[in-house]
Structure 1
């Protein structure tokens, strides 16, 4: 690769820096702009990685060079449109000035491609990552690659046409559009990062969403109508490796809470490996990855369950507009091909069978549970994290509420305490669970009332903490925990702490606080 690629990498990062100013002045669009910034950094990281791979595998790069050049041209067009919009800011811009320019930019790009700026950047990123896999001789979904190529080439054709019209002295810009001219020279923009305000509420609700224009039929051959928010944060491009025993290390870097959930690195308590191996028991679906992408779903988490060579991987997808959540499973069909399975989370229930979690569908008027996916775990922590993440994602789905929830507790866990806490200005139910099989002890805070009742907010494994005499103390209705490592399943949750770093459990009654401490003290003696 030549100097031109280095300039595009720098140009991409400059645009990301410039957009921070918009985020600072437009808190109502902070999530959307953060998504765009994250995609830009992910593109920059992928380009940097590809540059290194071309030196490592020069012969493999030749067949994809034409595709690579085309996507860079389209990317440069898009970056120029954004940079040109920066030039329309007043000398002392107001929030209204930023808002108008942001609206105009998005309207122009939407008219040009038929989808949002974030979606366009996501396509660039995915296409570059697929080219990266080709260069490394990894297994590639060529149908997915072809669909991405077709989409990007369609945008590029429109961009070329508009650019040619400008050169001819014509103007295709709508009134107030962000672009009056286009150039192939990159520039940099100086900006300062800004903070984002946080909406407060005493009762938890689902994360906000924008309505989908019209529902489209699902390709999964079910009656469910398909009609991240999970952007990638700055970091290295995705690289996957084979792991065993349901390794919960996320291969996707993003700012969705699932990133931290599936990268848990705390102490583990082993489970006896019993039950069936990990496998999907449903019907495979053709072209489902392409369908998810076209419907606006983003991959927020990847977990490998490649025990016994099954090649099974599980992906969670969420759509930004309505937090619609789906699970995608990939298993090996043969050495060069894979099978894919996909369902909405709100069509599934979870149950524990020995060292496995089974995601099941209800049949025969809801009287029978039929396994769709079986996942085997080698530690109680991995099992609990997956269980809680599944429930949280399902409860945050704004498309269709799950009625008559029957799987809010994990089989073989016994509830030893239940009380109400005021937690980060929200009312949560706090419970202590002890697993009968592994002996693991954990805390779980859940939504107490409302539409999302029993949805997990956070959990913490405390088996090794309760033996310390200095770990817990009570001050009236507050219990202070010296050390606690929470796994958080809800956006915008901020753990309350003292100035000394102790975690605060603020009970709504002093009796609950006293009972909580008593249970912990009994466990420290009998455990």
Structure 2
């Protein structure tokens, strides 16, 4: 699977270079050479994938597997760099001059990195992969090219990884913001959300905010998390676009499942998962969201305001059947135990992890209303005890209220918020790369630092809710296409006064006793690091971060009643 993915990436890069030939006739021969090499690389990778599964040859696979992974790792970086330059053509400036600028910049970048041209690099990949294929088919095969090319690719990979290693976050103070943030966001306080007022009424636009900035084409590196694979290899499809009372829907929507009895939980919501597993695969049946509303054991009340919960869009009474036909399955049902009596459903399509939210609003004198949107069309804004799900319009300058959900406890609000962000980020069909709603209004970040968490660089933050006083930890993806996506959160308010709940193991490592995690990824993607006694391990990127974390927790404990 990994080899086929690399092969497809190479073909995508080749397709991208096709657009360079007409605007750059003086470089047509060189561009054609790059296209040819990329297709040859794709062909070799596909052939190697077949050989690795062939009964006749797979016993020879261990001989070449390390070298194949060497090529894949370096090639992945190279193709991502190519795409980064090609994305500069996505802004409509497709004149020959713009192509020329991108071509020159790209050529200079690859030369500066390795002291030889991109064409030479691709030729080395191509030749090395061809030789590896021969080695699999002939156990006695040997080539003088292998040793020298292998050493050259190791040197290249070292340069690529050195350039792209996480630089660490340093010791961030309370809300400290670096003056010149790098391409990948460091941990810092985000721009204030205060300028985004609460939508006061049905469908009324929020005050204008900054337009959507150009997408930051962050590079996906070997140490970064990636989204679940799009198994169908489908092109992104249009989002749900309710345009009338009858509604027309694209392939963006979710399925009907039998109603399940509610399983009451403490707090303002009752969570239920689909109990019919006869046709579900593991990705649906054991989805991480099924456990999260039973993952915390505290209840911290938040005062409720006068805001009215509800959904403010066109009613789509036939949505369940439409969703079912599109191949989605329900993974969670939340009943809100307030005056609205709303029910919120999350749906997922396993083949591409497309995620949908459905709101059911009951009425005593008429039929219930149903509302549905893709998660990646919505952003979250907190207003007191409510989470407001909003759509953007007017080129991203306005937020329009779509739904308002009311919560009685900070735990249920935070878990819903984190689950929403995680599901939305894991959507492989039309992913959201630039997360703008990654923090809750009224929560204050008291600490930010980098940890190595299950061998990934994660950002650890400590938040305190200014309304309820609740304190929690949150680990989020740091770097790459899923930057700022929550991985886990844990409420620690009641542990702050306990002696010995934090135990330094060395200058950079802290063990946390009785940490109850709400994990927002599958067990395959995240395995919490623990000691032999089951204590959670926080391994910080620097000694100063570890010291800062311990000092922050000590300071917070002194303020807790």
TM-score bracket, shorter-length normalisation = 0.5 to 0.7
1:211 to 232, 237, 247: 232
Is the aligned partner of 1:484 residue 2:515?
Answer: yes
Secondary structure of 1:479's match? Answer: strand
8 Å Cα contact 1:262/1:303 also seen in 2: no
> Structure 1's 385 and 244: CA in aligned 2 closer, same or farther, altered over 3 A?
closer
> Structure 1's 261 and 429: CA in aligned 2 closer, same or farther, altered over 3 A?
same
Is the aligned partner of 1:500 residue 2:533?
Answer: yes
Distance 2:502 2:290 in 1: 29
2:251 to 214, 218, 226: 226
> How many equivalent residue pairs?
328
Partner of 1:433: 463
Is the aligned partner of 1:510 residue 2:540?
Answer: no
| 1:467-501 residue CA offsets vs partner (Å, 9 max, x unmatched) | 11210011210011111000000112111000011
Distance 2:315 2:508 in 1: 53
| 1:268-303 residue CA offsets vs partner (Å, 9 max, x unmatched) | 100111142321111111311111111111101110
Distance 1:319 1:461 in 2: 31
Give, in angstroms, the shift of residue 411 of structure 1.
0.4
Distance 1:297 1:438 in 2: 37
8 Å Cα contact 2:299/2:411 also seen in 1: yes
Secondary structure of 2:420's match? Answer: helix
Give, in angstroms, the shift of residue 211 of structure 1.
2.2
> Structure 1's 306 and 472: CA in aligned 2 closer, same or farther, altered over 3 A?
closer
> Structure 1's 201 and 495: CA in aligned 2 closer, same or farther, altered over 3 A?
farther
Give, in angstroms, the shift of residue 525 of structure 1.
1.2
TM-score (norm 1): 0.58
Is the aligned partner of 1:202 residue 2:223?
Answer: yes
Secondary structure of 2:537's match? Answer: strand
Partner of 1:293: 324
Is the aligned partner of 1:332 residue 2:362?
Answer: yes
Unaligned runs of 5+ in 1: 1-25, 29-94, 98-199
8 Å Cα contact 1:201/1:426 also seen in 2: no
Distance 1:212 1:338 in 2: 36
> Structure 1's 496 and 215: CA in aligned 2 closer, same or farther, altered over 3 A?
closer
> Structure 1's 342 and 506: CA in aligned 2 closer, same or farther, altered over 3 A?
same
Moved more, 251-260 or 371-380: 251-260
1:446-461 to 2 correspondence within 5 Å? 446-461=476-491
1:77-476 to 2 correspondence within 5 Å? 202-211=223-232, 220-221=241-242, 225-227=250-252, 238-240=260-262, 246-253=268-275, 254-308=285-339, 310-334=340-364, 337-474=367-504, 475-476=506-507
| 1:389-413 residue CA offsets vs partner (Å, 9 max, x unmatched) | 0000000011112254220100000
8 Å Cα contact 1:395/1:452 also seen in 2: yes
> Structure 1's 324 and 453: CA in aligned 2 closer, same or farther, altered over 3 A?
same
> Structure 1's 213 and 346: CA in aligned 2 closer, same or farther, altered over 3 A?
closer
| 1:492-525 residue CA offsets vs partner (Å, 9 max, x unmatched) | 2111000011110001111101110000011111
Secondary structure of 1:464's match? Answer: helix
Distance 1:510 1:448 in 2: 19
Give, in angstroms, the shift of residue 365 of structure 1.
2.2
Distance 1:219 1:396 in 2: 18
8 Å Cα contact 2:433/2:481 also seen in 1: no
8 Å Cα contact 2:451/2:541 also seen in 1: yes
Secondary structure of 1:504's match? Answer: strand
Moved more, 330-339 or 465-474: 330-339
Secondary structure of 1:202's match? Answer: coil
| 1:332-359 residue CA offsets vs partner (Å, 9 max, x unmatched) | 1445732110000010000000100000
8 Å Cα contact 2:237/2:429 also seen in 1: no
Distance 1:409 1:217 in 2: 28
Distance 1:239 1:277 in 2: 26
8 Å Cα contact 2:358/2:373 also seen in 1: yes
> Structure 1's 480 and 361: CA in aligned 2 closer, same or farther, altered over 3 A?
same
Aligned-residue CA RMSD (Å): 3.0
Give, in angstroms, the shift of residue 245 of structure 1.
6.2
| 1:102-151 residue CA offsets vs partner (Å, 9 max, x unmatched) | xxxxxxxxxxxxxxxxxxxxxxxxxxxxxxxxxxxxxxxxxxxxxxxxxx
8 Å Cα contact 1:275/1:353 also seen in 2: no
Secondary structure of 1:304's match? Answer: strand
Higher relative contact order (CA 8 A, sep 6+): 2
TM-score (norm 2): 0.54
Give, in angstroms, the shift of residue 414 of structure 1.
0.5
8 Å Cα contact 1:392/1:455 also seen in 2: yes
| 1:404-427 residue CA offsets vs partner (Å, 9 max, x unmatched) | 422010000000000001101111
| 1:154-210 residue CA offsets vs partner (Å, 9 max, x unmatched) | xxxxxxxxxxxxxxxxxxxxxxxxxxxxxxxxxxxxxxxxxxxxxx96311001221
| 1:364-395 residue CA offsets vs partner (Å, 9 max, x unmatched) | 22222111010000000000000000000000
Secondary structure of 1:283's match? Answer: coil
8 Å Cα contact 1:306/1:313 also seen in 2: no
8 Å Cα contact 1:248/1:264 also seen in 2: no
> Structure 1's 224 and 440: CA in aligned 2 closer, same or farther, altered over 3 A?
farther
> Structure 1's 207 and 245: CA in aligned 2 closer, same or farther, altered over 3 A?
same
Give, in angstroms, the shift of residue 262 of structure 1.
2.5
